[in-house]
Copies of this chain bind each other. A is one copy, B any other.
């Protein structure tokens, strides 16, 4: 045998051990449930695509981060670095087979050869959801309502969905003769929550006058409450228009569904996390630097951890797929940063710390009882209880240590003495209490009762 190869993963990559993978699977399941409840459907696209598709004919700043190489056939290929570009290609390719508006979710890995400082990974999971093929305010509202349901379901505690409208901001800039510097202003203002007002002022004044700067800083200062802020922004932008009307519609839908009170229905009693304070915040400082967005934009922050930044951001765009089709495909969508969210949940002590799914360990005490052990486990499974037989006869202490490592709450014992008495012993591992039962199905019944929280 040749020498041992050191087992290790690439820098910026990582294994998911069971506890982390169980946690991730549980988050994914919750999110899938919410996406589906809003009528979203899943899709998948290849991890590897033509580099030209992913990067465009030129290939810009992103290039350096992209895993790009020549495949066996000499094709210029790359690993996807996000789920948006593949989705654009997907829509251009399949729009005739599908229907519009198309609402899809996609949770999958992406790869970026980024600097690994500050906890950034080179392989991470994206979670995107979009409604494509409509300009409607209803679709914008759907995305915002979905974000609320998602974070309510994840049990992260309080959160704020910050929303803004790029069109409204542009109207304001135009009215103040700042249209020619809009990209600069948007990018600067986007830093508002990360730097001091003085720093922001210095930054802005490199390209706008002190007076203009004052006007901008006034605009981005929110008032108390969504509608008060909206009234102010609308006035500063020159009065009501489609953009401000749309924000009113979204806010109206958000408030009206807060308690899931339907038209003509009494309150259903399902309260949301926004019952006390407002979850939907009109934040005129949110611009999301990307040129891509043209309408509403949003970012979601956890009340308990605002410092980690947005855990769910997105917005409305005019053209999803103009690189690949002449067909106009406007849409609205957002992405949840699953890894960042998992880090946050862990820091908040909101993870489950579950090492395994097993509820019953059938101890292995006698080699000749193997078939009986398997029967007991099978009865448990038919009763909906997760059961496994310890694979080999070993010292009891070792089998209990295994149960503890896996967080297994119950053991079923069948040794010589149980066999003589024609019974089974059930052991509650946390309390070390035991009780006898006559059969595996009686054991299953008793354990099922005890498992109910």
Residues of A within 8 A of B (CB): 1-11, 13-18, 21-22, 24-25, 32, 36-50, 52-53, 56-58, 64, 67, 69-73, 75, 77, 79, 89-90, 92-94, 97-99, 101, 103-104, 109, 111, 113, 123, 131, 134-139, 141-142, 145, 149, 249, 252-253, 256-257, 260-265, 268, 270, 321-326, 355-358, 361, 364, 370-379, 381-382, 386-392, 401-402, 405-406, 414, 422, 424, 438-441
Cβ of B323 and Cβ of A4 under 8 Å apart? yes
Decide if A263 touches B388 in the complex (CB within 8 Å). no
A114 shortest CB reach to chain B, Å: 10
Number of copies of this protein chain within its complex: 2
Chain B residues lying within 8 Å of A113, measured Cβ to Cβ, are: 71-72
In the complex, which residues of chain B have a beta carbon less than 8 angstroms from the beta carbon of A263?
372, 375-376, 414, 424, 439-440
Q: Are B43 and A378 in contact (CB under 8 A)?
A: no
With A and B bound together, what is the CA distance between A358 and B40 in angstroms?
8
The reply to whether B56 and A41 contact each other, CB–CB distance below 8 Å, is: no
A25 / chain B contacts, CB cutoff of 8 Å: 32, 42
> A123 contacts B356, CB within 8 Å?
no
Q: Let me know if B378 and A145 touch, CB within 8 A.
A: yes
Q: Which B-chain residue is minimally distant from A370 (CB atoms)?
A: B138
Contact A94 B17 (CB under 8 A): yes
Q: Which residues of B contact A401 (CB under 8 A)?
A: 99
> Mind listing 24 A-B residue pairs with CB under 8 Å?
A1-B322, A5-B56, A5-B323, A5-B324, A7-B93, A18-B41, A25-B32, A39-B356, A39-B358, A41-B355, A47-B123, A48-B111, A48-B123, A69-B70, A136-B391, A138-B364, A138-B374, A145-B374, A256-B375, A261-B375, A261-B379, A262-B441, A263-B424, A265-B440
